[in-house]
């Protein structure tokens, strides 16, 4: 389990959770757009509602990959605690966006539509993925500190042998 979470499967899993929970939330909440006069707008928002989950998940995965590439370049790949932090940076953005959007007033049809069809399901998905990352990170961080302790003990014992 810890090895799995320390690997590249962890960010992929979280992005899938983000996408999946967002789509599921949209399906459960079932916004109708009854208070929106513009039928074209409603149709576009219905498509956006289904699509926002996979799009957010994909974009987050790309961002996480880029951040991991940067980590590799600056030689911080083996720093264990950076792994969940990188994932949080990729997913947390959607949490902030959806939270702020849901504070917008519902003055216009467009605003009401964006809040009901996009922001609310996205908040479900990003909040679930973020909380899951934080909870699972509790397994990753201690394991990385154990590994670094073992490594330093191994080095010191090999020095002693010499």
Partner 1 sequence: MKKYFLLLALPMTVLLTGCLGDVMDPVCEVTTFVAGGDGENDADHCYQTAAVQESDPEDCSKIQFPPPRSKCHLLIAGNTGNPAVCTDVDGGMMGYSQEECLAAAFKNHTVEDCKNAQDEAACRAAWGKNGKGCGDGFTYNQTDNKCDVKKEEDPTGKPTSGGTDDPLANDKVKEDLKSIGDAGWKKYLELLEKDIDGEKDPDRLAGLQKYKEFLDKSGEKLEDVTTKFESLQELKKIFIDSYDPKDAIENMSAKDILSKGFFDRLKDKLTGEDPPTERSKAEDALTVYEKMLEQQGDNDFLQQGRLDRVKDTLISKAKDEATSKLKEGVEDIAKTVAGDAFIVVGIVDHALTSFKDGAQKEVFVGMAAAYNRQRDDLARNHPEWTNEQIHKATVNGIKENPYQDNPNLGFVKYGNLLENGDCKDAGSGNPLCIDNRVFWTAMDKTYEETHKPGK
Number of Cβ atoms within 10 Å of the Cβ of 143: 16
Whether the CA torsion 134, 136, 137, 141 is positive or negative: it is: positive
Span interacting with partner 1, options 9-17, 100-108, 135-143, 152-160, rule CB under 8 A = 100-108
Q: Does residue 105 interact with partner 1 by CB under 8 A? A: yes
Nearest residue to 122 via CA among 98, 151, 147, 144: 98
Quick note: the x/- pattern for partner 1 over 21-50, rule CB under 8 A, is --------x-------xxxxx--x------
Q: Does residue 1 interact with partner 1 by CB under 8 A? A: no
Number of residues that bind partner 1 (CB under 8 A): 29
Span interacting with partner 1, options 12-20, 50-58, 75-83, 98-106, rule CB under 8 A = 98-106
Round to whole Å and give the CA distance between 95 and 110. 21
Round to whole Å and give the CA distance between 19 and 121. 10
Nearest residue to 129 via CA among 14, 6, 22, 20: 14
In the complex, minimum distance from the CB of residue 151 to partner 1, in angstroms, rounded to a whole number: 23
Q: Does residue 106 interact with partner 1 by CB under 8 A? A: yes
Round to whole Å and give the CA distance between 117 and 30. 8
Pick the binder of partner 1 from 101, 132, 141, 143 (CB under 8 A). Answer: 101
Tokens of 153: 């003990």
Round to whole Å and give the CA distance between 44 and 58. 20
Q: Does residue 107 interact with partner 1 by CB under 8 A? A: yes
Q: Does residue 111 interact with partner 1 by CB under 8 A? A: yes
Q: Does residue 99 interact with partner 1 by CB under 8 A? A: yes
Given the rule CB under 8 A, which residues bind partner 1?
29, 37-41, 44, 89, 96-97, 99-111, 114, 116, 120, 123-124, 127
């Amino acid at each position: 389990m810890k090895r799995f979470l320390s690997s590249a499967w962890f960010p992929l899993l979280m992005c899938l959770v983000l996408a999946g929970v967002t789509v599921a939330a949209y399906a459960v909440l079932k916004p109708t757009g009854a208070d929106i006069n513009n039928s074209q707008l409603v149709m576009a928002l219905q498509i956006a509602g289904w699509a926002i989950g996979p799009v957010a998940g994909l974009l987050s995965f790309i961002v996480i990959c880029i951040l991991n590439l940067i980590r590799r370049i600056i030689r911080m790949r083996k720093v264990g605690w950076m792994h969940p932090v990188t994932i949080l940076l990729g997913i947390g953005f959607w949490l902030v966006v959806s939270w702020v959007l849901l504070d917008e007033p519902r003055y216009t049809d467009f605003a009401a539509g964006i809040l009901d069809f996009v922001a609310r399901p996205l908040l479900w998905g990003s909040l679930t993925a973020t909380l899951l990352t934080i909870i699972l990170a509790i397994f990753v961080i201690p394991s990385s500190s154990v590994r670094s302790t073992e490594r330093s003990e191994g080095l010191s014992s090999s020095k002693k042998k010499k």
